[in-house]
């Protein structure tokens, strides 16, 4: 998104009750169950959700204590926590089937470490990390506000606040911001579609959500009234997996940077951290965020690439988008390799990824989140490399 003039940029988000996000949540719940029992467990879990039906598929390797019945119970608990107790999709009555099977021996040979052999990447691929000074969390502003709007709606819905009464779990948001000289200055349009109970008036929903948006956006940023769209097609009573099928991994742009930066193509949810689709994308965000937090640049895009069974990254590419403070990007790429071991095992150890921390990542973005010290989660959002990066460039 190299454009330092005047322009508009749009990002969207979806709530935890969106059918694809229900699938992501269940897949990550399965992952957490395995990692809680064995930090070295292997999981690649895909979930399909439709009308009162959930199907788990994929491959796993872990202790026998993680039974199919236990995973079905955990999936049911996840659906309950999201808030689905409707005729067409309910945590009580949904039929849940687990078709998970043992991990391929061919993949295990390439990935596992043995003797002096280092642990290889779980697959080939390219992963991107990004950070920008547009928000305090160093995330692109359109996505940040789209995500935050839906988080607020969720909080009000679950707490019983007047701003959430009558709203149901499925929701989407879209925020368009106007940029002047490359910096966001206000919203030109906001779109929110939210599931609601039967008989709720659209004007009532509109008034409720207007207050939420005003609370989230900076003062003076609210879009014109005729560009504020709430449930544009009218009633939205039938939603979630009853309204549309959901699949794991279909919201990768929502999960990352809202289209403001490249994406390697791999999804995150349901994958254990030996899969570099996930762990290396987290590492790339971590490094890009530390570059921006250190003051070396205002924007940073980072790409890393891997081959299955090979431990070292094949390449590390850095693009500061013209915002580097007299920084040589090639040198920065070498420095980043020095301050962090980018092998799959090195990433897992540095970011402490072999723990059951993933269910909370499944909705509202994997990046830009605030770590909870008690849970030691979202470790890739920490900025503990700032001093090392500044020292490498005598700053």
Where is the binding site for ATP, in residues?
18, 170-172, 244, 250-251, 267, 271
Q: Write down the H helix ranges in the chain.
A: 19-37, 68-82, 105-111, 141-159, 202-216, 240-243, 252-255, 276-293, 329-339, 344-351, 386-392
289 is catalytic: no
Number of neighbouring beta carbons within 10 Å of residue 217: 20
152 is catalytic: no
Exactly one of 76, 137, 196, 271 is catalytic; name it: 271
245 is catalytic: yes
Binding-site residues for K(+):
46
101 is catalytic: no
- Which positions ≥6 away from 322 have C-beta within 8 Å? 2, 4
Exactly one of 89, 236, 268, 378 is catalytic; name it: 236
244 is catalytic: yes
The answer to whether 54 and 206 have CB atoms below 8 angstroms apart is no
183 is catalytic: no
Residue 102 CA to its chain's centroid (Å): 27
User: Closest by alpha carbon to 47, among 28, 70, 68, 33?
Assistant: 28
Binding-site residues:
18, 20, 46, 59, 103, 170-172, 244, 250-251, 267, 271, 275
Exactly one of 9, 18, 131, 350 is catalytic; name it: 18
18 is catalytic: yes
Exactly one of 74, 76, 172, 289 is catalytic; name it: 172
The number of C-alpha atoms within 13 Å of 176 and in the hemisphere containing its C-beta is: 11
Exactly one of 28, 32, 46, 151 is catalytic; name it: 46
155 is catalytic: no
The answer to whether 26 and 204 have CB atoms below 8 angstroms apart is no
Exactly one of 38, 161, 244, 341 is catalytic; name it: 244
158 is catalytic: no
User: Helices 276-293 & 329-339, crossing angle to 10 degrees?
Assistant: 120
89 is catalytic: no
Q: Identify how many contiguous H helices and E strands the chain contains and give both numbers.
A: 11, 13
Exactly one of 251, 289, 299, 348 is catalytic; name it: 251
Exactly one of 20, 24, 151, 242 is catalytic; name it: 20
Find tokens 């959700």 and name the residue.
49
236 is catalytic: yes
Give the Cα separation of 395 and 390 in Å (integer).
5
Exactly one of 37, 57, 108, 245 is catalytic; name it: 245
Exactly one of 196, 275, 289, 348 is catalytic; name it: 275
Exactly one of 9, 21, 28, 378 is catalytic; name it: 21
Exactly one of 137, 250, 278, 289 is catalytic; name it: 250
Binding-site residues for L-methionine:
59, 103, 244, 275
Number of neighbouring beta carbons within 10 Å of residue 266: 19
Binding-site residues for Mg(2+):
20
Active site (catalytic) residues? 18, 20-21, 46, 59, 172, 236, 244-245, 250-251, 271, 275, 277
């Amino acid at each position: 998104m190299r454009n330092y003039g005047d322009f508009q940029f749009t990002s969207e988000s979806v709530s935890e009750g969106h059918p694809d996000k229900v699938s992501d949540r269940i897949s990550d719940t399965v992952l957490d169950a395995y990692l809680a029992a064995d930090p070295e467990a292997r999981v690649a879990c895909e979930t399909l959700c439709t009308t009162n039906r959930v199907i788990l598929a994929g491959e796993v390797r872990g202790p026998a204590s993680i039974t199919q019945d236990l995973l079905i119970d955990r999936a049911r608990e996840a659906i309950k926590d999201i808030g689905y107790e409707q005729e067409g999709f309910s945590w009580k009555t949904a039929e849940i089937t687990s078709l998970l099977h043992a991990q391929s021996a061919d993949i295990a040979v390439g990935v596992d470490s043995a003797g002096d052999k280092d642990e290889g990447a779980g697959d080939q691929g390219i992963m991107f990390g990004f950070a920008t000074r547009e928000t305090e969390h160093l995330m692109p502003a359109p996505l940040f506000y789209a995500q935050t709007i839906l988080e607020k709606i969720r909080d009000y819905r679950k707490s019983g606040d007047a701003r959430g009464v009558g709203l149901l779990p499925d929701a989407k948001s879209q925020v368009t911001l106007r940029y002047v000289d490359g910096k966001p200055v206000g919203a030109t349009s906001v779109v929110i579609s939210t599931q609601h109970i039967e008989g709720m008036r659209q004007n009532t929903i509109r008034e409720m959500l207007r207050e939420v948006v005003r609370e989230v956006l900076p003062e003076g940023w609210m879009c014109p009234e005729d560009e504020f769209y709430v449930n544009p097609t009218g009633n939205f009573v039938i939603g979630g997996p009853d309204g549309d099928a959901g699949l794991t991994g279909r919201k990768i742009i929502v999960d990352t940077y809202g289209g403001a930066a490249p994406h390697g193509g791999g999804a995150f949810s349901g994958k254990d951290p030996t899969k570099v689709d996930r762990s290396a994308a987290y590492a790339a965000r971590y490094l890009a965020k530390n570059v921006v937090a250190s003051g070396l640049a205002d924007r940073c895009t980072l790409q890393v690439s891997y081959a299955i069974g090979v431990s070292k990254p094949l390449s590390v590419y850095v693009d500061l988008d013209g915002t580097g403070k007299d920084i040589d990007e090639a040198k920065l790429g070498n420095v980043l390799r020095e301050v962090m071991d980018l092998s799959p095992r090195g990433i897992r150890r540095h970011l402490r990824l072999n723990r059951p921390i993933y269910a909370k990542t499944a909705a509202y973005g994997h990046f830009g989140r605030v770590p909870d010290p008690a849970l030691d989660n979202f470790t890739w959002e920490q900025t503990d490399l700032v001093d090392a990066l500044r020292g490498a460039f005598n700053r």
